[in-house]
Homo-oligomer: A and B are copies of this chain.
Protein backbone atom coordinates (compact mmCIF):
# COMPACT_ATOMS: atom_id res chain seq x y z
CA UNK A 1 0.00 0.00 0.00
CA UNK A 2 1.44 3.40 -0.95
CA UNK A 3 1.44 5.04 2.46
CA UNK A 4 3.16 8.38 2.78
CA UNK A 5 6.29 6.77 4.05
CA UNK A 6 8.36 9.45 5.53
CA UNK A 7 11.76 8.24 4.47
CA UNK A 8 10.54 8.24 0.91
CA UNK A 9 8.72 11.52 0.77
CA UNK A 10 10.62 13.83 3.08
CA UNK A 11 14.31 14.00 3.70
CA UNK A 12 15.46 13.87 7.26
CA UNK A 13 17.05 17.31 6.96
CA UNK A 14 13.67 18.85 6.23
CA UNK A 15 12.19 17.57 9.47
CA UNK A 16 10.91 19.93 12.12
CA UNK A 17 13.39 21.05 14.74
CA UNK A 18 13.35 18.88 17.83
CA UNK A 19 13.17 20.55 21.24
CA UNK A 20 16.48 21.12 22.98
CA UNK A 21 16.05 18.34 25.51
CA UNK A 22 15.41 15.73 22.85
CA UNK A 23 18.35 14.25 20.98
CA UNK A 24 18.25 12.09 17.89
CA UNK A 25 18.81 8.54 19.14
CA UNK A 26 21.82 6.63 17.88
CA UNK A 27 19.63 3.54 17.92
CA UNK A 28 15.92 4.12 17.44
CA UNK A 29 15.20 0.65 18.82
CA UNK A 30 17.03 1.24 22.10
CA UNK A 31 14.99 1.23 25.30
CA UNK A 32 15.93 3.78 27.95
CA UNK A 33 16.22 1.72 31.14
CA UNK A 34 15.19 4.75 33.21
CA UNK A 35 11.75 4.77 31.57
CA UNK A 36 10.81 1.10 31.70
CA UNK A 37 10.22 -1.52 34.38
CA UNK A 38 13.30 -3.57 35.23
CA UNK A 39 13.74 -6.44 32.81
CA UNK A 40 12.08 -4.72 29.88
CA UNK A 41 13.84 -5.76 26.68
CA UNK A 42 13.41 -6.07 22.98
CA UNK A 43 12.90 -9.73 22.22
CA UNK A 44 14.97 -11.47 19.55
CA UNK A 45 12.12 -10.70 17.18
CA UNK A 46 12.55 -7.03 18.09
CA UNK A 47 9.40 -6.64 20.16
CA UNK A 48 9.08 -4.55 23.28
CA UNK A 49 8.78 -7.16 26.01
CA UNK A 50 7.80 -6.23 29.57
CA UNK A 51 7.82 -8.82 32.34
CA UNK A 52 8.12 -11.43 29.61
CA UNK A 53 5.05 -10.23 27.68
CA UNK A 54 5.52 -9.03 24.12
CA UNK A 55 3.63 -5.97 22.96
CA UNK A 56 1.87 -7.80 20.16
CA UNK A 57 0.80 -10.65 22.45
CA UNK A 58 -0.65 -8.12 24.90
CA UNK A 59 -2.51 -6.24 22.18
CA UNK A 60 -3.80 -9.51 20.71
CA UNK A 61 -5.03 -10.69 24.10
CA UNK A 62 -6.36 -7.46 25.58
CA UNK A 63 -6.99 -5.20 22.61
CA UNK A 64 -5.81 -1.67 21.95
CA UNK A 65 -5.46 0.90 23.38
CA UNK A 66 -4.37 -0.59 26.65
CA UNK A 67 -2.77 0.42 29.95
CA UNK A 68 -0.37 -2.03 31.56
CA UNK A 69 1.13 -2.22 35.01
CA UNK A 70 3.99 -4.54 35.85
CA UNK A 71 2.90 -5.81 39.26
CA UNK A 72 6.41 -6.73 40.35
CA UNK A 73 7.68 -3.27 39.42
CA UNK A 74 4.81 -1.60 41.27
CA UNK A 75 5.53 -3.68 44.36
CA UNK A 76 9.25 -3.02 44.05
CA UNK A 77 8.65 0.73 43.83
CA UNK A 78 6.37 0.61 46.86
CA UNK A 79 8.84 -1.49 48.77
CA UNK A 80 11.72 0.79 47.81
CA UNK A 81 9.90 3.76 49.36
CA UNK A 82 9.17 1.77 52.50
CA UNK A 83 12.80 0.74 52.85
CA UNK A 84 14.39 4.07 51.89
CA UNK A 85 12.14 5.82 54.41
CA UNK A 86 12.19 3.05 57.01
CA UNK A 87 10.57 4.19 60.22
CA UNK A 88 8.39 6.71 58.40
CA UNK A 89 4.86 6.16 57.15
CA UNK A 90 4.49 5.89 53.41
CA UNK A 91 1.01 6.39 52.00
CA UNK A 92 0.27 5.52 48.40
CA UNK A 93 -1.64 8.45 46.86
CA UNK A 94 -4.59 6.69 45.29
CA UNK A 95 -5.47 9.59 43.03
CA UNK A 96 -2.59 8.59 40.73
CA UNK A 97 -4.30 5.29 40.02
CA UNK A 98 -6.53 3.24 42.26
CA UNK A 99 -8.49 0.05 41.90
CA UNK A 100 -9.09 -2.86 44.24
CA UNK A 101 -6.12 -4.85 42.95
CA UNK A 102 -3.73 -1.95 43.44
CA UNK A 103 -5.12 -1.27 46.92
CA UNK A 104 -4.36 -4.88 47.84
CA UNK A 105 -0.79 -4.59 46.51
CA UNK A 106 -0.34 -1.45 48.58
CA UNK A 107 -1.66 -3.19 51.68
CA UNK A 108 0.56 -6.21 51.14
CA UNK A 109 3.64 -4.03 50.68
CA UNK A 110 3.00 -2.47 54.06
CA UNK A 111 2.12 1.03 52.90
CA UNK A 112 -0.75 3.25 53.90
CA UNK A 113 -3.26 4.67 51.44
CA UNK A 114 -4.45 8.18 50.68
CA UNK A 115 -7.95 8.69 49.40
CA UNK A 116 -9.67 11.94 48.56
CA UNK A 117 -13.30 11.05 47.92
CA UNK A 118 -16.03 8.69 48.95
CA UNK A 119 -15.43 6.83 45.70
CA UNK A 120 -11.75 6.19 46.44
CA UNK A 121 -12.73 5.19 49.96
CA UNK A 122 -15.23 2.71 48.53
CA UNK A 123 -12.48 1.14 46.40
CA UNK A 124 -10.22 0.83 49.42
CA UNK A 125 -13.05 -0.69 51.38
CA UNK A 126 -13.82 -3.09 48.55
CA UNK A 127 -10.22 -4.25 48.66
CA UNK A 128 -10.32 -4.72 52.41
CA UNK A 129 -7.69 -2.02 52.89
CA UNK A 130 -7.15 -1.38 56.62
CA UNK A 131 -9.04 1.86 57.36
CA UNK A 132 -6.63 2.72 60.17
CA UNK A 133 -3.84 2.96 57.58
CA UNK A 134 -5.91 5.25 55.37
CA UNK A 135 -5.73 9.03 55.18
CA UNK A 136 -8.61 11.14 53.87
CA UNK A 137 -7.77 14.28 51.90
CA UNK A 138 -9.75 16.98 50.20
CA UNK A 139 -10.71 20.63 50.36
CA UNK A 140 -14.42 19.93 50.23
CA UNK A 141 -15.28 16.55 51.70
CA UNK A 142 -19.02 16.16 51.93
CA UNK A 143 -20.84 15.22 55.10
CA UNK A 144 -21.72 11.85 53.57
CA UNK A 145 -18.10 11.18 52.65
CA UNK A 146 -16.90 12.14 56.11
CA UNK A 147 -19.57 10.01 57.73
CA UNK A 148 -18.51 6.99 55.68
CA UNK A 149 -14.85 7.55 56.54
CA UNK A 150 -15.41 8.11 60.25
CA UNK A 151 -17.81 5.15 60.50
CA UNK A 152 -15.16 2.94 58.93
CA UNK A 153 -12.56 4.09 61.47
CA UNK A 154 -10.39 6.07 59.07
CA UNK A 155 -6.83 6.53 60.31
CA UNK A 156 -6.51 10.23 59.73
CA UNK A 157 -8.59 12.99 58.24
CA UNK A 158 -6.47 15.77 56.80
CA UNK A 159 -8.64 18.77 57.63
CA UNK A 160 -8.67 21.62 55.21
CA UNK A 161 -11.13 24.30 56.36
CA UNK A 162 -13.06 25.57 59.33
CA UNK A 163 -16.26 24.46 57.62
CA UNK A 164 -14.88 20.93 57.57
CA UNK A 165 -13.81 21.01 61.21
CA UNK A 166 -17.37 21.86 62.21
CA UNK A 167 -18.69 19.12 59.97
CA UNK A 168 -16.37 16.52 61.52
CA UNK A 169 -17.24 17.60 65.04
CA UNK A 170 -20.95 17.21 64.36
CA UNK A 171 -20.38 13.75 62.87
CA UNK A 172 -18.11 12.64 65.69
CA UNK A 173 -20.81 13.63 68.13
CA UNK A 174 -23.47 11.86 66.05
CA UNK A 175 -21.34 8.72 65.84
CA UNK A 176 -20.11 9.00 69.44
CA UNK A 177 -16.46 8.77 68.50
CA UNK A 178 -13.36 10.91 68.14
CA UNK A 179 -11.54 11.55 64.90
CA UNK A 180 -7.79 11.73 64.45
CA UNK A 181 -6.85 14.69 62.29
CA UNK A 182 -3.89 16.38 60.67
CA UNK A 183 -4.20 20.04 59.78
CA UNK A 184 -3.22 20.85 56.23
CA UNK A 185 -1.10 23.96 56.20
CA UNK A 186 0.18 26.04 53.32
CA UNK A 187 3.78 27.03 53.68
CA UNK A 188 4.07 29.37 50.73
CA UNK A 189 6.34 26.87 48.98
CA UNK A 190 5.32 25.62 45.57
CA UNK A 191 7.62 23.16 43.84
CA UNK A 192 7.72 21.70 40.36
CA UNK A 193 10.55 19.97 38.48
CA UNK A 194 13.80 21.75 39.34
CA UNK A 195 12.37 24.90 40.82
CA UNK A 196 10.48 25.99 43.81
CA UNK A 197 8.81 29.27 44.56
CA UNK A 198 8.63 30.40 48.16
CA UNK A 199 6.24 33.20 48.98
CA UNK A 200 4.57 34.31 52.13
CA UNK A 201 1.06 33.51 50.97
CA UNK A 202 -0.27 30.98 48.56
CA UNK A 203 -3.14 31.76 46.26
CA UNK A 204 -4.73 28.31 46.37
CA UNK A 205 -7.72 26.49 47.71
CA UNK A 206 -6.05 24.03 50.04
CA UNK A 207 -5.32 24.24 53.70
CA UNK A 208 -4.60 26.94 56.24
CA UNK A 209 -1.94 29.52 55.62
CA UNK A 210 0.88 29.57 58.15
CA UNK A 211 1.40 33.27 57.65
CA UNK A 212 -1.40 35.33 59.11
CA UNK A 213 -1.89 32.75 61.82
CA UNK A 214 -4.61 30.72 60.12
CA UNK A 215 -2.74 27.43 60.51
CA UNK A 216 -2.00 28.07 64.18
CA UNK A 217 -5.61 29.02 64.77
CA UNK A 218 -6.81 25.81 63.13
CA UNK A 219 -4.36 23.73 65.17
CA UNK A 220 -5.56 25.30 68.40
CA UNK A 221 -9.16 24.89 67.26
CA UNK A 222 -8.64 21.15 66.67
CA UNK A 223 -6.60 20.57 69.81
CA UNK A 224 -9.32 22.01 72.00
CA UNK A 225 -12.16 20.08 70.40
CA UNK A 226 -13.52 17.17 72.43
CA UNK A 227 -14.32 15.38 69.15
CA UNK A 228 -10.93 15.62 67.50
CA UNK A 229 -7.54 14.12 68.23
CA UNK A 230 -4.99 16.42 66.70
CA UNK A 231 -2.06 14.29 65.53
CA UNK A 232 -0.04 16.83 63.61
CA UNK A 233 0.50 18.85 60.49
CA UNK A 234 0.29 18.12 56.77
CA UNK A 235 2.06 19.99 53.98
CA UNK A 236 2.08 19.29 50.25
CA UNK A 237 4.18 21.50 48.02
CA UNK A 238 3.74 20.36 44.44
CA UNK A 239 4.12 17.66 41.86
CA UNK A 240 6.72 16.07 39.61
CA UNK A 241 9.51 17.50 41.82
CA UNK A 242 13.15 16.58 41.07
CA UNK A 243 14.85 18.64 43.73
CA UNK A 244 14.65 18.36 47.51
CA UNK A 245 15.27 22.00 48.37
CA UNK A 246 11.63 23.07 48.23
CA UNK A 247 10.89 20.36 50.78
CA UNK A 248 13.61 21.75 53.06
CA UNK A 249 11.93 25.14 53.18
CA UNK A 250 8.54 23.53 53.74
CA UNK A 251 9.97 21.38 56.55
CA UNK A 252 11.37 24.46 58.25
CA UNK A 253 8.12 26.38 57.98
CA UNK A 254 5.88 23.51 59.12
CA UNK A 255 8.16 22.78 62.09
CA UNK A 256 8.08 26.46 62.98
CA UNK A 257 4.29 26.47 63.19
CA UNK A 258 4.47 23.26 65.23
CA UNK A 259 6.82 25.11 67.59
CA UNK A 260 4.45 28.08 67.74
CA UNK A 261 1.67 25.69 68.63
CA UNK A 262 3.80 24.15 71.37
CA UNK A 263 4.64 27.60 72.71
CA UNK A 264 0.97 28.59 72.68
CA UNK A 265 -0.48 25.43 74.19
CA UNK A 266 2.30 23.47 75.83
CA UNK A 267 1.42 20.48 73.66
CA UNK A 268 3.89 18.93 71.22
CA UNK A 269 2.57 17.61 67.93
CA UNK A 270 4.19 14.34 66.93
CA UNK A 271 3.25 13.87 63.29
CA UNK A 272 4.46 15.64 60.19
CA UNK A 273 3.18 14.56 56.81
CA UNK A 274 5.16 16.06 53.93
CA UNK A 275 2.81 14.99 51.14
CA UNK A 276 3.92 13.78 47.76
CA UNK A 277 5.11 15.18 44.48
CA UNK A 278 8.13 12.98 43.79
CA UNK A 279 9.03 13.26 40.12
CA UNK A 280 9.46 10.40 37.71
CA UNK A 281 11.13 10.09 34.32
CA UNK A 282 8.70 10.40 31.42
CA UNK A 283 11.48 11.17 28.95
CA UNK A 284 15.26 10.90 28.84
CA UNK A 285 15.43 14.54 29.97
CA UNK A 286 13.86 13.75 33.37
CA UNK A 287 16.37 12.74 35.99
CA UNK A 288 14.76 12.02 39.33
CA UNK A 289 17.00 11.85 42.39
CA UNK A 290 17.76 8.31 43.52
CA UNK A 291 15.36 7.46 46.33
CA UNK A 292 18.17 6.81 48.81
CA UNK A 293 19.64 10.29 48.16
CA UNK A 294 16.21 11.84 48.55
CA UNK A 295 15.67 9.94 51.80
CA UNK A 296 19.05 11.03 53.14
CA UNK A 297 18.36 14.70 52.42
CA UNK A 298 14.89 14.47 53.95
CA UNK A 299 16.19 12.83 57.09
CA UNK A 300 18.92 15.39 57.43
CA UNK A 301 16.47 18.27 57.06
CA UNK A 302 14.02 16.73 59.52
CA UNK A 303 16.76 16.01 62.06
CA UNK A 304 18.24 19.46 61.70
CA UNK A 305 14.93 21.26 62.18
CA UNK A 306 13.87 18.89 64.92
CA UNK A 307 17.01 19.68 66.89
CA UNK A 308 16.63 23.37 66.17
CA UNK A 309 13.08 23.51 67.49
CA UNK A 310 13.76 21.07 70.30
CA UNK A 311 11.41 18.36 69.15
CA UNK A 312 12.13 14.74 69.85
CA UNK A 313 11.52 11.93 67.45
CA UNK A 314 8.70 12.80 65.06
CA UNK A 315 6.46 10.47 63.13
CA UNK A 316 7.02 11.54 59.54
CA UNK A 317 4.92 10.53 56.56
CA UNK A 318 5.13 10.80 52.78
CA UNK A 319 2.55 10.29 50.05
CA UNK A 320 4.07 9.07 46.79
CA UNK A 321 1.58 8.10 44.08
CA UNK A 322 2.99 8.75 40.63
CA UNK A 323 6.46 7.64 41.80
CA UNK A 324 5.12 4.17 42.59
CA UNK A 325 2.72 3.45 39.75
CA UNK A 326 4.22 5.57 36.96
CA UNK A 327 7.54 3.80 36.38
CA UNK A 328 5.78 0.42 36.58
CA UNK A 329 3.38 1.23 33.78
CA UNK A 330 2.96 2.00 30.13
CA UNK A 331 0.25 2.45 27.52
CA UNK A 332 -0.01 0.61 24.24
CA UNK A 333 -1.63 2.07 21.13
CA UNK A 334 -2.13 1.00 17.53
CA UNK A 335 -1.12 3.35 14.74
CA UNK A 336 -3.99 4.23 12.42
CA UNK A 337 -2.61 6.86 10.08
CA UNK A 338 0.79 8.36 9.32
CA UNK A 339 0.87 11.79 7.75
CA UNK A 340 3.71 14.06 6.77
CA UNK A 341 2.66 17.66 7.32
CA UNK A 342 4.71 20.39 5.71
CA UNK A 343 5.53 23.33 7.95
CA UNK A 344 6.49 26.84 7.08
CA UNK A 345 10.17 27.21 6.21
CA UNK A 346 10.46 23.93 4.34
CA UNK A 347 10.38 21.71 7.39
CA UNK A 348 7.92 18.90 7.96
CA UNK A 349 6.43 17.00 10.83
CA UNK A 350 5.29 13.40 10.86
CA UNK A 351 1.92 13.02 12.56
CA UNK A 352 1.34 9.50 13.82
CA UNK A 353 -2.31 9.01 14.79
CA UNK A 354 -3.19 6.27 17.22
CA UNK A 355 -6.43 4.70 18.41
CA UNK A 356 -6.62 6.63 21.70
CA UNK A 357 -5.78 10.18 22.65
CA UNK A 358 -6.71 12.94 25.05
CA UNK A 359 -9.56 10.83 26.45
CA UNK A 360 -7.14 8.24 27.83
CA UNK A 361 -4.30 10.64 28.62
CA UNK A 362 -5.26 14.28 29.11
CA UNK A 363 -1.90 15.21 30.68
CA UNK A 364 -0.14 16.42 27.51
CA UNK A 365 -3.09 18.70 26.68
CA UNK A 366 -3.78 19.69 30.29
CA UNK A 367 -0.26 20.30 31.60
CA UNK A 368 1.83 20.28 28.40
CA UNK A 369 3.29 17.11 29.93
CA UNK A 370 6.04 15.50 27.90
CA UNK A 371 6.04 11.77 27.22
CA UNK A 372 8.14 9.49 25.09
CA UNK A 373 7.20 6.56 22.90
CA UNK A 374 8.77 3.60 21.14
CA UNK A 375 7.77 1.38 18.28
CA UNK A 376 6.66 -1.69 20.20
CA UNK A 377 5.76 -4.55 17.87
CA UNK A 378 9.03 -4.72 15.95
CA UNK A 379 12.49 -3.30 15.64
CA UNK A 380 13.24 -1.18 12.61
CA UNK A 381 16.38 -0.45 10.63
CA UNK A 382 14.93 2.78 9.30
CA UNK A 383 16.42 6.07 10.45
CA UNK A 384 14.77 7.99 13.27
CA UNK A 385 12.44 10.84 12.27
CA UNK A 386 10.88 13.40 14.52
CA UNK A 387 7.23 12.51 15.05
CA UNK A 388 4.23 13.78 16.94
CA UNK A 389 1.98 11.09 18.31
CA UNK A 390 -1.62 12.28 18.28
CA UNK A 391 -4.94 10.75 19.15
CA UNK A 392 -8.14 10.28 17.20
CA UNK A 393 -10.24 13.00 18.83
CA UNK A 394 -11.80 15.84 16.91
CA UNK A 395 -9.52 18.42 18.43
CA UNK A 396 -6.21 19.92 17.36
CA UNK A 397 -4.78 19.77 20.87
CA UNK A 398 -5.26 16.01 21.03
CA UNK A 399 -1.56 15.24 21.41
CA UNK A 400 -0.08 12.28 23.29
CA UNK A 401 3.64 12.72 22.63
CA UNK A 402 4.61 16.13 21.36
CA UNK A 403 8.09 15.24 20.12
CA UNK A 404 9.66 11.84 19.76
CA UNK A 405 11.96 10.12 17.31
CA UNK A 406 10.36 7.04 15.76
CA UNK A 407 11.58 4.91 12.86
CA UNK A 408 10.84 6.40 9.45
CA UNK A 409 8.98 3.29 8.34
CA UNK A 410 6.33 3.55 11.04
CA UNK A 411 2.99 2.60 9.52
CA UNK A 412 -0.66 1.80 10.24
CA UNK A 413 -0.95 -1.37 12.28
CA UNK A 414 2.25 -0.76 14.23
CA UNK A 415 2.07 -0.66 18.00
CA UNK A 416 3.41 2.26 20.00
CA UNK A 417 4.20 2.13 23.69
CA UNK A 418 4.26 5.16 26.01
CA UNK A 419 6.06 4.60 29.33
CA UNK A 420 4.76 6.13 32.55
CA UNK A 421 1.16 6.28 31.35
CA UNK A 422 -0.24 4.41 34.34
CA UNK A 423 -0.20 7.49 36.56
CA UNK A 424 -2.97 10.11 36.19
CA UNK A 425 -3.98 8.79 32.77
CA UNK A 426 -6.69 6.22 33.43
CA UNK A 427 -7.63 8.07 36.60
CA UNK A 428 -8.36 11.26 34.62
CA UNK A 429 -9.71 9.51 31.54
CA UNK A 430 -12.91 10.68 29.88
CA UNK A 431 -15.32 9.43 27.25
CA UNK A 432 -14.76 12.43 25.02
CA UNK A 433 -16.16 11.73 21.54
CA UNK A 434 -17.82 8.67 23.08
CA UNK A 435 -14.59 6.72 23.14
CA UNK A 436 -14.66 3.94 25.68
CA UNK A 437 -11.88 3.78 28.23
CA UNK A 438 -9.13 1.17 27.84
CA UNK A 439 -8.60 -1.60 30.37
CA UNK A 440 -5.78 -1.65 32.89
CA UNK A 441 -4.02 -4.98 32.78
CA UNK A 442 -1.53 -6.28 35.33
CA UNK A 443 1.52 -8.25 34.25
CA UNK A 444 2.43 -10.84 36.87
CA UNK A 445 5.04 -13.32 35.79
CA UNK A 446 3.59 -15.41 33.00
CA UNK A 447 0.09 -14.21 33.81
CA UNK A 448 -1.64 -11.09 32.71
CA UNK A 449 -4.96 -10.19 34.25
CA UNK A 450 -7.33 -7.23 34.15
CA UNK A 451 -7.50 -4.75 37.01
CA UNK A 452 -10.08 -2.60 35.24
CA UNK A 453 -11.87 -4.15 32.29
CA UNK A 454 -12.35 -2.33 29.02
CA UNK A 455 -15.35 -0.06 29.05
CA UNK A 456 -17.95 -0.97 26.43
CA UNK A 457 -20.37 1.09 24.43
CA UNK A 458 -23.10 -0.66 26.41
CA UNK A 459 -21.57 0.73 29.63
CA UNK A 460 -21.63 4.19 28.11
CA UNK A 461 -25.11 3.99 26.68
CA UNK A 462 -26.50 2.62 29.94
CA UNK A 463 -26.42 6.20 31.23
CA UNK A 464 -28.35 7.47 28.19
CA UNK A 465 -31.91 7.22 29.41
CA UNK A 466 -33.54 9.91 27.28
Residue ranges of A at the interface with B (Cβ–Cβ < 8 Å): 1-4, 16, 95, 98-102, 104, 116-120, 122-123, 126, 137-142, 160-164, 166, 199-206, 209, 211-212, 214, 336-339, 341-344, 349, 351, 353-355, 362, 365-366, 388, 390-396, 398, 412, 427-437, 442, 449-453, 455, 457, 459-466
Contacts and interface: CB of A to CB of B under 8 A. Distances in A.
A95 B358 CA distance: 14
22 contacts: A95-B394, A95-B395, A118-B434, A119-B433, A123-B434, A138-B392, A139-B390, A140-B353, A140-B392, A141-B336, A141-B392, A142-B355, A160-B337, A163-B337, A205-B351, A205-B390, A211-B342, A362-B366, A362-B430, A366-B366, A449-B466, A459-B462
B396 A342 contact: no
B460 A119 contact: yes
A100 B462 CA distance: 11
Contacts of A95: 394-395, 432-433
A354 B140 contact: yes
Contacts of A342: 201, 209, 211-212, 214
Nearest to A354: B140
Contacts of A205: 339, 341, 351, 353, 388, 390, 396, 398
A256 to B, nearest CB: 18
B434 A452 contact: no
A122 B450 contact: no
A98 B116 CA distance: 30
Q: Which of A101, A412, A453, A464: most chain B Cβ within 10 A?
A: A464
A453 B463 contact: yes
Contacts of A365: 366
Given A116-B433, A117-B434, A201-B341, 17 more contacts: A4-B162, A98-B434, A117-B435, A118-B457, A122-B461, A123-B434, A126-B464, A137-B394, A139-B390, A142-B336, A160-B337, A163-B337, A204-B341, A205-B341, A205-B388, A427-B433, A428-B430
Copy total for this chain? 2
Given A163-B3, A349-B203, A362-B362, A452 B433 contact: no
Contact of A336 (B2, B163, B412): B163
Contacts of A344: 199-201
A164 B337 contact: yes
Q: Which of A104, A351, A460: most chain B Cβ within 10 A?
A: A351
A420 to B, nearest CB: 18
B466 A161 contact: no
Contacts of A392: 117, 138-142
B139 A461 contact: no
A326 B344 CA distance: 36
In order of increasing CB-CB distance, the 5 nearest A-B pairs are A119-B434, A101-B466, A140-B353, A140-B392, A140-B336
Contact of A427 (B388, B432, B452): B432
B464 A116 contact: no
Contact of A450 (B4, B430, B466): B466
Contacts of A442: 466
A70 to B, nearest CB: 14
A206 B337 contact: no
B393 A116 contact: yes
A122 B433 contact: no
A205 to B, nearest CB: 4
A8 to B, nearest CB: 13
Nearest to A357: B140
B1 A119 contact: no
A464 B100 contact: yes
Given A139-B337, A202-B341, A464-B123, A116 B394 contact: yes
Contacts of A343: 201, 203
